[in-house]
Structure 1
Amino acid sequence: MKNKTRGLIYMWITVIFWGISFVATKIIVNTVPPITAAFLRFFLSSLILVLFIKTKIKYEKKEYVYMLLSGFFGVTAYFLFENSALQYTTATNGSLIISATPVIYLLFSDILRKSFSHKIRYFGTLLAFFGVALIVLNGRFVLKLNPLGDLLMFGAAFSWILYTVFIEKLHHHDNLAITRDLNYYGMLFFIPFSLYELKSAGTCPAFELWLDPVVITAFLYLGIFCTALGYIWWNKAIRLAGAKTTTNGIFFIPIVTVIADAVLLKNYPNFYTLIGASLVLAGNYIAEIKD
């Protein structure tokens, strides 16, 4: 099997897990403050990865900085921006802005490399983004703009882009050990924010949390599949299929969410969703023609 094909398989598995993760996250944040929920999610994943991955990496000074930046932007900053943004802007705006990440990354990476991708890749990427927009907006092209919330959500998108840039610089090291370390440092960066949130809220959610088996199950799903395994497979996909191709997988997350919504909650997709999904598939196929 070709490396790119293997990379796409890893990407798809991760996209499926991440697409369903919105349901689990919604269950958790009804009980636990959002930043603390993110901290506990990465605490669980870090614990699992530290216990099972024993490979040690001797980072050079510059590489250690890249690792810290990967953990901060790919874990802490991303979820801080996203969770904060959703307090001010709508879920629709948030989904649409995050879905723009592959488009922004394509332009950003080309500027960094001073070498622009083929126009067909740009066309395919933009077509896929339009498909996602059709799904998210449900055919109604009306956005309720909230400057602060939308700006924070763009912060989440750019955080993921910077994570992708920095993690690429570490791909000559063991993938499992890299994922363990970035989860660990990202979790550590969360601690002061979580403590501040709990102090502001004036309550600790731990007792209520562990009494609810549904919340525990949601945490286990997020910590094991979406985070520990999810980051391993996503980083592996970047290594095998390339960052641009893998980042385009973000377009498919809303499609997976729609399917999960239909299967689990019986909320079936409409005409616009089906057309949007078709555009996402077509756009990604076109984008890979000139890879």
Structure 2
Amino acid sequence: MKNKTIGIIYMWITIIFWGISFVATKIIVHSVPPITAAFLRFFLSSLILIIFIRKDIKYEKKEFFYMMLAGFFGVTAYFLFENTALQFTTPSNGSLIISATPVMYLLFSDILRKSFSHKIRYLGTFLAFSGVSIIVLNGRFILKLNPLGDLLMFGASFSWIFYTIFIEKLHHHDNLIITKDLNFYGMIFFLPFAFFELKNAGTCPNFQLWIQPKILIAFIYLGVFCTALGYIWWNKAIRLAGAKTTTNGIFFIPIVTVIADSIMLKNYPNIYTIIGATLVLFGNYIAEIKD
């Protein structure tokens, strides 16, 4: 079997796990406070990565600063927004909004560089945002809806943009070690937020709900397969199949989420979700294929 084929297999395995992760998170935040849930997920993944990745990087002061910022935005801020958002929105909506991150990054980076990308890329951006708007409004073009969850998911998307800016400055270091350090520092940054959340909950957490079999399975799934192994498999796919082929796989994550959401949580997509999903995927696709 050719290396590229093996890489694509790794890519698809990761896409399936990440697509279902929105559903697993939705299950957890029904019983576990969202910030605490995110902390526990990354505590588990950090423990696994520390055990299996024994090497370290001696960062320069500026690099360490970039690492801390990347850990905060890429782990802490991102999942603060995502886990909280999934208390109010469906996994399908969340996944589809996150899928627009690449084109949002295009606009943001163009503003920073004060340069303009090809007009085809902007057309793709417009189509993707049109799709996201349809999903958020869900056919109700009046101000009677509560878009809180979808707006919070946009916060996760922008956090990932900032993460991308800082992580690019560390591209010359080993990806696996970077992943281990990101998980660790992101988990540390979660501590004060989780403490504040539990302290202000008003009641003692119902730990009996936390240890329900479905909750424990969802935690293991997120911590082991989506976070620890997921990043390792994704990096493996990049090395074998190439960055462009692997990155294009992100466009299929929302499709996996919609299918999983329908099967597991019975949140069947309506016509607006289907139209919006089509526009998001098509807009992302044409924006990314034009260099």
Q: What does residue 28 of structure 1 align with?
A: 28
Distance 1:130 1:231 in 2: 30
Q: What does residue 110 of structure 1 align with?
A: 110
5 Å matches for 1:264-283?
264-265=264-265, 268-283=268-283
Supply the RMSD in Å over aligned alpha carbons. Answer: 3.6
Q: Does 1:215 align with 2:215?
A: yes
Q: Is the 8 A contact 1:96 1:133 kept in 2?
A: no
Note closer, same or farther for the CA distance 1:272–1:81 as it changes in structure 2 (3 Å cut): closer
Distance 2:129 2:267 in 1: 23
CA drift of 1:11 comes to 5.8
CA drift of 1:225 comes to 1.8
Return the letter of the residue paired with 1:44: L
Note closer, same or farther for the CA distance 1:229–1:144 as it changes in structure 2 (3 Å cut): farther
Distance 1:12 1:169 in 2: 27
Per mean C-alpha deviation after superposition, the further-off stretch among 141-150 and 187-196 is 141-150
The sequence identity of aligned pairs, in percent, is: 77
Q: Does 1:56 align with 2:56?
A: yes
TM-score (norm. length: structure 2)? 0.80
- What is the aligned residue count? 286
TM-score (norm. length: structure 1)? 0.80
Return the letter of the residue paired with 2:210: L
- Note the alpha carbon deviations across 1:70-89, whole angstroms, 9 max, x for none: 111111112223444566x6
5 Å matches for 1:1-291?
13-84=13-84, 98-135=98-135, 137-142=137-142, 144=144, 152-201=152-201, 202-206=203-207, 208-210=209-211, 212-233=212-233, 240-241=242-243, 246=247, 252-265=252-265, 268-291=268-291
Structure 2, gaps ≥5 residues long: none
Q: Is the 8 A contact 1:93 1:143 kept in 2?
A: no
Q: Is the 8 A contact 2:79 2:156 kept in 1?
A: yes
Per mean C-alpha deviation after superposition, the further-off stretch among 61-70 and 196-205 is 196-205
Structure 1, gaps ≥5 residues long: none
Return the letter of the residue paired with 1:19: G
CA drift of 1:224 comes to 1.2
CA drift of 1:143 comes to 5.8
Per mean C-alpha deviation after superposition, the further-off stretch among 106-115 and 228-237 is 228-237
- Secondary structure of the residue that 1:30 maps to in structure 2? coil
Distance 1:130 1:97 in 2: 11
